[in-house]
């Protein structure tokens, strides 16, 4: 995403299974406040290879904030204030598509938003005009290409397409809900893809999602979903996610 420390920092928002970023050469850490409140964690500054990055843990460190209570606006605003203009959102997801089983990595190309009741825009309050951002392509094609090249170079099991269905959580879905998501065209289901992507777009930041499948979505396997299964897939797949981040930053 850049190969020089003169480049603006890339933001990485770590999700479940990625509350810290090992391999990051730390250069600073700061608590930040924003007009939208406090972000989920302090912002950790460092270098991945030569690329400056700012790391934020979406659910806090330690992991404690559920998906519907993440202050997405504060998170994105804090990164923006640090000079970040490209954000990689790392998400643990359930796989709906047959190819997307546990530990599979996906760089999705579309989103459908099923979340509700979340603070999902910066455009509210006393506005001079109503603003409708274009959101046809929610993910940056340049940033996607870099992640895809990195996944390919590492020989990791991954898919370079996918529709991310963002659900409200925190509960997992029913089997019928997953069938509906599938009929809608979703390949993945997760709880944190939105409003993060739209808020990044409102700030005119490039945004890309790097998703790790941690379970087959409800009804897509012969068993119910357990935390043990999710943790095992995180253990198996998160090293690949870290490698993709390192390689795509030029490390």
Closest-by-Cβ residue to ligand HPA is 94
Give the SS3 label for residue 160: coil
- The answer to the question of residue 18 lying near ligand HPA (CB under 6 A) is no
- Under 8 Å between Cβ of 47 and 53: yes
Going residue by residue from 205 to 244, which x/- string records binding to ligand HPA, judged by CB under 6 A?
---------xx-x---------------------------
Nearer to ligand HPA, 17 or 49 (CB): 17
- The answer to the question of residue 190 lying near ligand HPA (CB under 6 A) is yes
- Nearest distance from C-beta of residue 43 to ligand HPA, angstroms: 24
* Residues of each annotated binding site for substrate: 191, 215-217
**Residue 50 CA: distances (Å) to CA of 1, 167, 251:** 11, 36, 7
The rounded radius of gyration (Å) of the Cα atoms in the chain is: 17
* Residues of each annotated binding site: 16, 58-59, 191-192, 215-217
For residues 77-106, which are near ligand HPA according to CB under 6 A? 92-94
Burial, 155: exposed, middle or buried (Cβ in 10 Å; 0-12, 13-18, 19+)? Answer: exposed
Q: How far apart are CA 167 and CA 224, in angstroms?
A: 18
- Nearest distance from C-beta of residue 238 to ligand HPA, angstroms: 13
Nearer to ligand HPA, 18 or 214 (CB): 214
In this structure, what is the dihedral angle of CA atoms 93, 97, 103, 106, given to the nearest 10 degrees?
A: -70
- The answer to the question of residue 140 lying near ligand HPA (CB under 6 A) is no
Give every CB contact of residue 30 below 8 A, 6+ residues apart in sequence: 42, 43, 45
Summarize as ranges the residues that interact with ligand HPA (CB under 6 A): 92-94, 167, 172-173, 189-191, 214-215, 217
């Amino acid at each position: 995403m850049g190969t020089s420390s003169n480049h603006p920092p890339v933001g990485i928002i770590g999700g479940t299974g990625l509350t810290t970023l090992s391999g990051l050469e730390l250069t600073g850490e700061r608590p930040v406040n924003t007009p939208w409140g406090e972000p989920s964690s302090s912002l950790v500054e460092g270098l991945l290879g030569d690329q400056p990055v700012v790391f934020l843990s979406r659910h806090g460190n330690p992991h404690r904030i559920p998906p519907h209570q993440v202050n997405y606006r504060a998170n994105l605003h804090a990164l923006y204030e640090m000079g970040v203009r490209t954000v990689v959102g790392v998400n643990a997801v359930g796989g709906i598509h047959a190819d997307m089983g546990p530990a599979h990595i996906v760089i999705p190309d579309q989103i459908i938003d099923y979340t509700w009741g979340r603070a999902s825009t910066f455009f509210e309050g006393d506005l001079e005009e109503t603003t409708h951002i274009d959101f046809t392509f929610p993910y940056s094609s340049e940033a996607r290409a870099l992640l895809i090249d990195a996944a390919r170079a590492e020989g990791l099991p991954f898919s370079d397409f996918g529709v991310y269905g963002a659900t409200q959580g925190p509960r997992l879905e029913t089997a019928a809900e997953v069938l509906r998501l599938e009929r809608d065209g979703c390949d993945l289901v997760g709880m944190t893809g939105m409003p993060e992507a739209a808020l990044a777009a409102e700030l005119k930041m490039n945004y890309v999602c790097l998703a790790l499948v941690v379970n087959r979505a409800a009804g897509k396997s012969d068993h119910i979903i357990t935390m043990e299964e999710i943790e095992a897939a995180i253990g198996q797949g998160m090293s690949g996610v870290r490698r993709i981040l390192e390689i795509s930053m030029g490390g």
